[in-house]
Structure 1
Amino acid sequence: MIVVEDLHKSFDGTPVLKGISTVFEKGKTNLIIGRSGSGKTVFLKSLLGLFIPEQGTIIYNGTPYGEMDDEQQRELRQKMGMVFQGSALFDSMTVEENVMFPLKMFTNDSMSGMRDRVDVVLKRVNLTDAHKKFPSEISGGMQKRVAIARAIVNNPQYLFCDEPNSGLDPKTSIVIDNLVQEITQEFDITTVINTHDMNSVMEIGEKIVFLKDGYKAWEGSNKEIFRTDNEAVTSFVYSSELFKKVRQMYLEERN
């Protein structure tokens, strides 16, 4: 679980995060949404410890980040998995080597032990015959699955995803969404996803935090988002005619 209390972050005197408080629960897919410039990326990087807020507290499983010493912060980073926008695989490494990279960085496992662990996570993301291929030899969806395998290879307590469906077709995006949700529930991970994809919001948004101009403008589930009258949320989520129709159908069914 991650608890965020009154988080503030500025750059060159310009406030970007303005007093955000929320809770990201274990075993749930927690989504951060909002327009470009709303503070989503800064918020995600603050959760990762890449940005240090001027005010507020981020608490990881009961321990505030600001109270951790260097060793505790290092241990926390080892418990974090990250899926980057665009996958961010090493072009010169095979799939197996990409997934093994965190194990070499953070463990003292034997080579055979690391290969066994790589086999397990590649099988979990439905990639059993890609070990020796290079990123350029596999599709974008497969690259994303490799990135997920790499993110979970160290059994993280926290999984962060930055626009995991960026550049993917709708069908592949659904596959990635379902995979992330399954892994989150299966391993009881605290998963936080920064996304623009409204299909992800509707499909796997168990907890949604909507940011506007650096503030938390709304939070709730993908079911509650259909019922909200929050104008900032409805104008963002239902900007397309398709989602307007979906919401109307939902409300009519409820009535």
Structure 2
Amino acid sequence: MIEVKNIKKSFGDQMVLKGVSTVLDTGKTNLIIGQSGSGKTVFLKSLLGIHTPDSGTISFDGRIYSDLNADEKRELRTEIGMVFQGSALFDSMTVEENIGFPLKMFTSKTQKQIKERVDFVIDRVKLIDAHKKKPSEISGGMQKRVAIARAIVNNPKYLFCDEPNSGLDPKTAIVIDNLIQEITSEYNITTVINTHDMNSVMEIGDKIVFLKNGLKEWEGDKTQIFKTDNEAVTDFVYSSELFKKVREAVLKEGN
């Protein structure tokens, strides 16, 4: 569980986060959504320790990040997996080398132990016959699978995903969404996903935090978001005719 209490963050005279509080639950996919400029990227980077909030606290299962010493922060970082927007794979490495990289860097595992773990996560994300291939030799969807496998290879407690469906076709995006949700539930991970993809909201929105102008405007789950009368949320969610029809169907079913 990640608990955020009243965090604020400014850059110069511009206050980007204006006092955001929420709880991001373990074993669930927690989605952060909002328009460009809403503060969701700064929020994610604050959770990751890239930005230091001006005030407020972020705690990881009771450990307040700002209270940790350097060694404790390093230990916490080993518990975090990250899936970057562009996958961020090493072009010169094979799939198995990319996935094994965190184990070589941050653990004392033997080469045999690394291979066993890499083979396990490759199988878990269903990467077939890809061990020896370079990122340029596989599809965008497979590259995302490699990025997810690398993020979970060290058994993280916390998984962060920044626009994981960026650049993917809708069918592949759904497959990646479902894979992230399966892994989250299976390994009881606290997963936080920055996204603008409303299909992700419909598919895997166990918890949704909607930011607007640096504030938490609304939070709920994928069912509640289609029933809310919050105008800011409905303007964002129902900007397309498809989601207007979904909402109409949900409300009709509720009646």
Same fold, TM-score > 0.5, yes or no: yes
Amino acid at match of 1:65: Y
* Structure 2: 5+ residue stretches without partners: none
Task: Report the alpha carbon displacement of residue 128 of structure 1 after superposing the two structures with TM.
Answer: 3.4
Once residues 117 and 254 of structure 1 are traced to their aligned partners in structure 2, the CA distance between those partners, rounded to angstroms, is 46
User: What SS is found at the alignment partner of 2:9?
Assistant: strand
Offset at 1:243? 0.3
Residue equivalent to 1:186 = 186
Identity within the alignment, %: 71
Q: Distance in 1 between matches of 2:227 and 2:187?
A: 31
- Equivalent residue for 1:146? 146
- Alpha-carbon distance in structure 2 between the residues aligned to 1:207 and 1:119: 32
User: What SS does structure 1 have at the residue aligned with 2:21?
Assistant: strand
Cα distance in 1 between the residues matched to 2:243 and 2:14: 34
- Deviation of 1:63 after TM superposition, in Å, equals 1.0
Give the residue type in structure 2 aligned to 1:194.
N
- AA aligned opposite 1:76: L
1:10-89 paired onto structure 2 within 5 Å: 10-89=10-89
Match for residue 252 of structure 2?
A: 252
Runs of 4+ in structure 1 off by over 4 angstroms are none
TM-score (normalizing by structure 2): 0.99
Give deviations 1:138-172, integer Å, cap 9, x for gaps: 00000000000000000000000000000000000
2:103 corresponds to: 103
Is the Cα contact below 8 Å between 1:96 and 1:131 reproduced in 2?
Answer: yes
| Superposed displacement of residue 254, structure 1 | 1.0
Distance 1:153 1:28 in 2: 19
CA distance in 2, matches of 1:225, 1:119: 39
SS at match of 2:133: coil
Structure 1 distance, partners of 2:161, 2:15, is: 24
Deviation of 1:13 after TM superposition, in Å, equals 2.2
Count of equivalent residues? 255
Partners of 2:73 and 2:212 lie apart in 1 by: 30
| Alignment deviations for residues 67-102 of structure 1 (CA, whole Å, 9 cap, x no partner) | 100000000000000000010100010001100010
Q: What is the CA deviation profile of residues 116-157 of structure 1, one whole-angstrom value per residue up to 9, with x for unaligned ones?
A: 100000100001310100000000000000000000000000
SS of the aligned residue for 1:52 comes to coil
**Per-residue deviation at 1:12?**
1.4
RMSD of aligned Cα (Å): 0.5
Residue 235 of structure 1 is matched in structure 2 by: 235
CA distance in structure 2 between the aligned counterparts of 1:167 and 1:242, rounded to whole angstroms: 20
In structure 2, C-alpha distance between the alignment counterparts of 1:4 and 1:128, rounded to whole Å? 39
2:159 is aligned to 159
Partner Cα separation in structure 2 for residue 241 and residue 212 of structure 1 = 22
* Displacement after TM superposition at 1:194 (Å): 0.1
TM normalised by structure 1 equals: 0.99
Match of 2:197 in 1: 197
